[in-house]
Amino acid sequence: DGPLTVKELADKMGREVSEIIKKLMFLGVMATINQEIDVDTATIVAEDFGVEVTEVEPAEDPTEIKEIEDAPETLQPRPPVVTIMGHVDHGKTSLLDVIRQTNVTAHEAGGITQHIGAYMVRYKGNKITFLDTPGHEAFTAMRLRGAQSTDIAVLVVAADDGVMPQTIEAINHAKSANVPVLVAINKMDKPGANPDHVKQQLAEHGLLPEEWGGDTIMVPVSAKKRQGIDDLLENILLVAEVMELKANPNRHAQGVVIEAKLDKGRGPVCTVLVQKGTLRVGDTIIAGTAFGKVRAMTNERGEKVKAARPSMPVEVLGLSDVPQAGEIMDAVDDNEARTIAEKRIEKQRVSEMQKTHKVTLDDIFNQI
Ligand code: GDP
Ligand code: MG
C-alpha cells in the first residue's frame, strides 16, 4: 500500500533480492537492497513474476469514526462556548454563579440547581455556553484527547492580587489551544484593587489591553457586588461575533464528554457538549468504549430536552458505561456502536498488554 524497499518486496513475493534487482535493472531502474521503490514499479515487477497484485485501500482504523467534512453551505451560526480560568480564589466559581443567576427569571427562580458541568445562558437574545468544570484540568484533559471544547477563555484575575502562577498557566493553556482570551479583572470592590497594575502584569505576559493599543479586552468586574457582568457578557458576544462560530446542525451528532459519573438510580450519566449535528433522544451513541441509546436528555434546569443542537450542553442517560471526561461522543448507526466499542476495548487491551510487556523487558535488563 505505500512505497516499499526492494528487500520488503522480495520477502513479500518469496523471491531472492538479487532476482528483484535484476528485474528492476531490466526495467531501467538501478536499485539497492534498501532502496524504496514506488507502488507502480513494484506492481510491474510483481506481475512480471506472475504474482497477482491486489489494490489495497489505505487501512482504516476500525476504532475511529470517519470524520465528515461539512460543506460550507451546511454551516449555521452557533453560540460560543466559554471556559473560565484563573488562579485559585480569584473568583471563578463566584463569577460562574453570578452569570448563571443573571439568567434566572422570577418564574424559574431556583430552577438552575442541577450541576451538569456546563450551562447555557440567554443574554439579550443570544446564547452563551459556559463550561462549569474545574477550569484547567478539564481544559487540559480534553485537549489531551484531541477535543477542542472551548471557543473563548475568560481569564479571571483578582484586582488586589494580580497575576499569579495559575494565571500564567491559564494564559499558556489558552495560547497553546489557540483560544482567544478575555480578561475579567475581578474583586474591583476591594480596597486594594489595582486594575492598572494587573494590566501591566498581563502585558508582560503577552496580553496587551485594548486601551493600550493591544487586542485583549479587559473588563473590570465584581462578582460579589454583581458589577460589570453585563459588560463582560457583551464583550464575550462581541468576541464571538468576530469569530463567526458555525457548525452543521443537520448531521449525526458529535460532541465532547464534559463530565460523567455513575448514578445509583439512573446508571451512567454524562454531560455532553454537542459540537456538530443534533443529538436526539433515541440516537445510538458511543463515547470511548461506552455506548448505548440516548434514553433521556436534560438541560441545566432539569428540563427534558428532545434535541440538542451545536454548543448545547445536555445531560445524557443511556450509556452502558461511564466514559471519561474529554472523550469524543459520536452518534452512530444502531449496529455500529457495539462493534466499534468492542474493537476499542480490544485495542485498549492490546496496548495495556504491550505496556506490561515492556515493563517486564525493562525489568530483565535492569537485572543484568
Ligand atoms: P475560585 O477559587 O477562583 O473559584 O474563587 P471563588 O469564587 O471560590 O472565590 C474565592 C473567594 O473570593 C471567596 O471567598 C469569594 O467570596 C471571594 N470573591 C469572589 N469574587 C469576589 C469579588 O468580586 N469581591 C470580593 N470582595 N470577593 C470576592
Ligand atoms: Mg472555584
Residue closest via CA to ligand 1's atom 17 equals 91
Ligand 1 pocket mutation pick from 83, 94, 222 by most atoms within 8 angstroms of CB: 94
Q: Kindly state if the Cβ of 336 falls inside 6 Å of ligand 1.
A: no
Q: How far is the CA of 227 from the centre of ligand 1 (A)?
A: 13
pLDDT of res. 106: 45
CA of 142 relative to ligand 1 center, distance in Å? 26
pLDDT band at 244 (very low <50, low <70, confident <90, very high): very high
Pocket lining: 190 vs ligand 1, CB cutoff 6 Å: yes
Q: Which three cell numbers stand for residue 318?
A: 443511556
Ligand 2 centroid to residue 88 C-alpha, Å: 7
Higher pLDDT, 58 or 261: 261
Specify the pLDDT at position 129: 95
pLDDT of residue 55 exceeding 80, the answer is no
Query: With a 6 A CB cut-off, is 90 part of the ligand 1 pocket?
Result: yes
Q: How far apart are CA 133 and CA 117, in angstroms?
A: 5
Q: Which residue has the higher pLDDT, 46 or 276?
A: 276
Which of helix, strand or coil describes residue 274?
strand
Q: How far apart are CA 333 and CA 291, in angstroms?
A: 11
Q: d(Cα 43, Cα 31) in Å, to the nearest integer?
A: 15
Tens digit of pLDDT for each residue in 21-38? 888 888 888 888 888 888
Give the predicted TM-score (pTM) of the model: 0.79
Query: Cα separation of 80 and 55, whole Å?
Result: 45
How confident is the model over 157-179, as a mean pLDDT? 93
How close is the Cα of 94 to the center of ligand 2, in Å? 7
DSSP state of 49: T
- Which amino acid residue places its CA nearest to atom 19 of ligand 1? 91
CB of residue 222 inside a 6 A radius of ligand 1? yes
pLDDT band at 61 (very low <50, low <70, confident <90, very high): confident
Owner of C-alpha cell 485537549: 143
Structure confidence at residue 58 (pLDDT): 54
Ligand 1 atom 9 nearest Cα: 91
d(CA 110, CA 88): 27
Q: Which ligand lies nearest the alpha carbon of 86?
A: 1
**How many Å apart are CA 170 and CA 152, to the nearest integer?**
12
Name the grid cell of 172. Answer: 499558556
**Alpha-carbon dihedral 166, 170, 176, 182, rounded to 10 degrees:** -150
Q: What is the pLDDT of residues 189-223, one digit of tens each?
A: 999 999 999 999 999 999 999 999 999 999 999 99
Mean pLDDT lowest among 65-79, 144-158, 330-344: 144-158
The amino acid occupying position 190 is K
List pLDDT tens digits, range 69-82: 899 999 999 999 99
Q: Confirm whether residue 163 is marked as ligand binding.
A: no
What pLDDT, on a 0 to 100 scale, did the predictor assign at position 29? 83
pLDDT in tens, 108-125: 545 555 678 899 999 999
- Max CA pair span of the chain: 88
Q: Write the CA distances from 301 to 111, 325, 368, integer angstroms.
A: 5, 21, 62
C-alpha 143 – ligand 1 centre gap (Å): 27
Of 365 and 160, more confident:
160
